[in-house]
Amino acid sequence: MTADILSSLQQFQQYAVGMQNLLAQAQAGVPERVEATDRSGMVRAVLGRDGLPESITVEPDWQHRLTADGFGAAVLEACQTAAGERMAAWSQALQADGLRARVDRMREDLAERPAPAPADALPAELRHQWDRARPRGLEYLVEDVLRAADRVDEFAAASPLAVSGTGTDASGRLVVTVSKAGLVSCEAEPRWAGQQRGTALTAALREAVAMARADLARASQPSHSTGELDQLLTEALAILNDPQRLAQS
């Protein structure tokens, strides 16, 4: 029974590593830059490869087609439209690359040859921890995993996907928030915005977005909680890739 469980876990681990590698290759299909405007055409957003705003430009005569109250919403709309075009372009690239067929082939290959994967097949971000994974009894590892499961909310809150960054311009009247998914919000004091020319708003957005991106980068640094979870994952993968560690522990 134990051998069957280990065999199933090893096959699952190989599938997970294979998916990791395919997704890494799929990243090549992400557009370098995508740009779009809001429906008024007065705000233009350019997103980089990471999906975050590289620049947001406001037309000089923006008030001819936008109200000060609607300025922040127009900025968000331009960024969301660009994000939609980015995802559409990526989806087309994945279809052209035959990703679905490659996933199916990988699944079939693993079903036919469920041999353990070598250590060098580990995802790059975990490979450097391989040699540091300490051999010990499986029951102790399972105990730690169960203990970690009781703290799932803490791990989720510490995940890079759950964090955001906020930035303002020098006046503090413009506030933007970004996450790994892109621009989350843009709030501008209407009275202040109504007094600004397009060039001034463009400069304010550049300053606020730069601050928000820096704040996001700081917030995305691995915490102690996620580091502990990574260590447990690495140790489990070490055992699955080299069952002798389990036998010797």
Dig out the tokens for 197 from the structure.
Answer: 């020319």
Residue type for 47, please?
A: L
Answer with the residue of higher pLDDT: 215 or 102. 215
- Provide the pLDDT confidence category of residue 132 given band limits of 50, 70 and 90: low
In a domain, 91, yes or no: no
- Answer yes or no: are the C-beta atoms of 226 and 125 closer than 8 Å: no
Structural domain total, the chain: 1
Residue 162 resides in a domain: yes
- Higher-scoring residue by pLDDT: 133, 62: 62
Torsion sign across C-alpha atoms 24, 25, 29, 33: positive
Six-digit token string for 204: 């304010």
Q: Encode pLDDT of 14-60 as tens digits.
A: 555 555 665 555 566 678 899 999 999 999 999 998 999 999 999 99
- pLDDT digits 0-9 by tens, 93-127: 767 666 566 666 666 665 665 444 444 445 555 55
Q: What is the pLDDT of residue 176?
A: 98
Token pair 């580091």: residue: 227
Nearest to 63 by CA among 249, 211, 198: 198
Task: Please say whether the beta carbons of 31 and 86 come within 8 A.
Answer: yes
Which residue range(s) make up the domain with 202?
36-79+136-222
- Region 128-156 average pLDDT: 57
Is 90 exceeded by the pLDDT of residue 140?
Answer: no
The C-alpha atoms of residue 52 and residue 165 are separated, in whole angstroms, by 11
Task: Specify if 16 maps to a domain.
Answer: no
Beta carbons of 97 and 29 less than 8 angstroms apart: yes
Spatial separation of the C-alpha atoms in residues 96 and 106, rounded to whole Å: 18
In a domain, 52, yes or no: yes
- Name the pLDDT band for 247 (thresholds 50, 70, 90): very low
In a domain, 231, yes or no: no
pLDDT(130) > 60: no
Is the whole model's pTM more than 0.85, yes or no? no
Residue 156 resides in a domain: yes
The answer to the question of residue 72 being in a domain is yes
User: Is 195 contained in some domain?
Assistant: yes
Structure token digits, residue 226: 């996620």
Q: What are phi and psi of 172, to 5 degrees?
A: 80, 5
**Furthest C-alpha separation in the chain:** 75
